[in-house]
Structures are given as structure tokens and as C-alpha cells.
Amino acid sequence: MSKGRQLVTLRDAAVYIQKLPEAEQLLEEWQAAVEALLLVVELSGPTMMAALRKRLTPLIRKTPYAKKIAHKAIWVEPELLAEIEYRAKSAEGKVRHPFFKGIRDGG
């Protein structure tokens, strides 16, 4: 993150992602971050994180960017899909009141 700030809570991470330009929010890596946040909120705990790590570890890849980015990240192939339901969309097309239903294989 810029200026050495750290994301301390799930709320910090969610607010940070929501403030990104929409085109950046739609990048696969941010979508994966949102998926992980939703999993933590929905399933709340180390068991869920272990299950997520087990599914993501085989998908690890090198960064898709030519130059090094400022923060540490682990990149994965976009092969999983999060099933999300939402109550409505805002005028800007953003989902409102989303909730996580599960993960499934992509394609």
C-alpha cells in the first residue's frame, strides 16, 4: 500500500478495495482479494482459511506484471469462481449487500 499504511482489519481491506478505480477493482487479483474477504466474513475462522489455502496453493503463479509492485502478493491462476448474491446494484453498477454463497471451479 502507498505511504506505508497497512490493512489491519477486514473492514480496512474492504474500504481500500472499494476506493480503487472501478477498472482496477475488476482486475482478477482484486476480485480474488474480495473473494477471500467474503470467505472470512462468511465462514469466520482458521478452518476456512486452511481450506482456501489448500485450493489456492496449486494455482500459484508468478506476477502478471512486468515491473515489481510495491506490496507483497501471491498471485494465482483465475480458475475458481465465487458465487455471490446481492440485493441490488447502485447507479454506478456496483453490487449492494453482497453475500458469499460458495466457491466453485471456473469455466
CB atoms within 10 A of CB 82: 17
Q: Which residue has the cell 480458475?
A: 79
Cβ proximity of 76 and 55 under 8 Å: no
What local confidence, expressed as pLDDT, does residue 70 receive?
66
Chain segment 39-82, per-residue pLDDT in tens: 666 666 666 667 777 888 888 888 777 677 666 777 788 888 87
Cα–Cα distance, 11 to 8 (Å, whole number): 8
Higher pLDDT, 12 or 45: 12
Total-model pTM: 0.41
Higher pLDDT, 4 or 99: 99
Proportion of the chain above pLDDT 90, given as a percent: 0
What local confidence, expressed as pLDDT, does residue 37 receive?
74
What local confidence, expressed as pLDDT, does residue 63 receive?
75
CB atoms within 10 A of CB 76: 17
Identify the band that residue 101 occupies on the pLDDT scale cut at 50, 70 and 90.
Answer: confident
